[in-house]
Structure 1
Amino acid sequence: MNHTFNNILFLLAAGILMAGCIDANYEEPVAGRTEDQLLSNVIAAQSELSIFNELLDSEGLLPLLVSRQTQDQRAVFAPTDAAIEAFMSENGFESADNIEGLENVLAYHIAEANIKQSDLNRTNYNFIQTNADQNIFVNRSGGEVRFNNQTVNILRSESGNGTVHLIDEVLLPRSNAMTAYLDENPELSVFKQVVELLGLNSQLSTNFRTLFIPNNQAFADLLTAIGAGSLDELVEIVGEEALEEIVRYHIVNDLVYSGNVSNNQTLTPQFAGEVMPRISIDSENVMLTYGEDHGSSTQVTVNDDIFQTGFVHIIDKVMLPVREID
């Protein structure tokens, strides 16, 4: 018999046997798959979250909580019915439809990572990334964890394929931007001009910034002190590089507000020079000391309104950093 023909018969027989062994219900296991409950089911099971659950459904956000069965999980900070009702009453809303940007407000309660209570308790945990494309700042005051400088109590946490934290407040995405604040405050127009001149506008829209902005009178005093008649002359006298160092001496890559500062606390600005500014609290006054041996000071008008990217405080002097001598 032809050997080639025998080989073909053998292969056909083997193929038929293998086909008979195929499990039609076989599924490739998903790497890292969890059998924990979907977050949507966890929320639906909590009687105190019925309003939140209904709103998630009406705004089409439930798919965010049912699409992940692997360990690539999320966390939800879910306001209770009582929290939502109190929020609506305080703001005079007759229904949730009156809440401007409702979908975005709800998405602001859904985190992009599975954040547990232990994470929030870490002192170096600074922000929560949300589905609203805006972070929740985690800050602390007197040992208390706060969201956006707002006291928010986590009543309890429920686990599923992520974590649901039941909270007693509604969180709102921050609408106030630093650029808009400068536009609306004519007394800060010179600082805005300097920022634009140096191409530092991005510093106003980058997370974790605290700006100590000198008012216009502070810049006028500086021009007089160095004999400059205008901003252009200031640039000619000090140079753009030195002027940028001065501006960056007023920008701190951290959240600095009245609840988390202490007397003699040293700040670390983007340009530190040889002497970093230090906070001095005297009775009700907040000052910054700077310069050689901290011999100079400026009064701080504290503003605890949190902007999209951080805090803005106003000062009455332009702080000149002590530069290293080459």
Structure 2
Amino acid sequence: MENGVVHVIDGVLLPEFSLPNVVEAATAAGLTVLLDAVTAANLGQTLLDAEAITVFAPTNQAFLDLLAALNLGSLQELVAAVGIEEVTRILGFHVVPATAFSFDLAEGAQTVPTLAGEDLTVTRTGSNVTVTDARGNTFNVVAADVAIENGVVHVIDGVVLPTANEPDVPNIVEAAEAAGLTVLLDAVTAAGLGQTLLDAEAITVFAPTNDAFVNLLGALGLGSLQELVDAVGIEELQRILGFHVVPSVAFSTDLAEGAQTVPTLAGEDLIVTRNGNAVTVTDARGNTYNVAVADVEIENGVVHVIDGVLLPEENLPNVVEAATDAGLTVLLDAVTAAGLGQTLLDAEAITVFAPTNDAFVDLLGTLGVADLDELVDAIGLEGLQKVLGFHVVPTVAFSTDLAEGSQTVPTLAGEDLTVTRTGANVTVTDAEGNTYNVVVADVAIENGVVHVINGVLLPTL
């Protein structure tokens, strides 16, 4: 040829393609929400610098659908709701650290790793490709094989989500601390129950507020938790606390409508009642309290905060045990001599005015006898039974049950006894006009109450 030479070849020569980077490709496709999300998560440079990537890029509508499902109005609200780290994790779940054009995929389903550290399921059916996320949602590839500098972009019609990022759940101690239940924590520590609750496989805890404990202490005339421990003993405190713990998990939504009985660690049943969204608990003594804060999830169950301290059945002594604890040895000897022990134990309801040992010593001195045997010789066994019966009222009368002033009450001796209350003071007057003081009132027993008095009451003999 005139100005050079021609060589005939068997192919078409192509210049080097000028491919867009991932940001340019997303911009060209109008994926503005994805670009905003990548900018917010500061992932742009990471994607640009990656050696090889496959990006499953959601459309703007895909993001709008996700926001609507979460009841959010904007990308900024999503960031505020889940945190920037979670947004970063979601975006990373759309990026595979290798290049995979649609024609590189095997027919059928395959799992591929992502920058989020979780696998994504990609399925090719002929020329169609879908992606399924960790929560089972499946979306379509609507624009495949957009080549970029370091890989490929596939546009998809949904936002793929990794596994739910469960929030940290506190243990029972942490939950109580967060709720400010300091008295309950002190009680659990005093009872040595902390590790038991932490190690339990499944528990529901009805947790009293600080005010609930203060109200209990006030009702018992006690000033502190230590005074409660001193009064009832550490075993009883453990029993009370155990009565607040159900050995299974019961969120309020798990409860049936109406009343149900549930077992507790105290070995007694608790009554739990649900009325709509309101839940109450009723203890063994008939006290009913409200669940003020429900469904606080903990590592091994749930906590419901309540406005009262639940009490199990009273673990009361019988009359013989109460007299033994009070050191009323002469009274016990007299009851044994008179054969009245079983009668008192079997009685349905009694109030016993129990003389001190000194009271019996004073009576023996007044009668000029040396001991209980000489007293029996002097007045006879029936006389002793009548004297003792005159100290027993066949009904339960705590000092708070008495009317102000004088009242007569029947006794097992068949004669009335005069009982007088003056404010907090109580006296008893016998058939001979002798008046004695109640020196220790209101000792509860299984079938009634004992009041310790400083004299022996005498009926008509």
What is the TM-score with the length of structure 2 in the denominator?
Answer: 0.36
Relative contact order (alpha carbons < 8 A, sep ≥ 6): 1 or 2 greater?
Answer: 1
Q: Which one has the bigger strand percentage?
A: 2
What is the TM-score with the length of structure 1 in the denominator?
Answer: 0.49
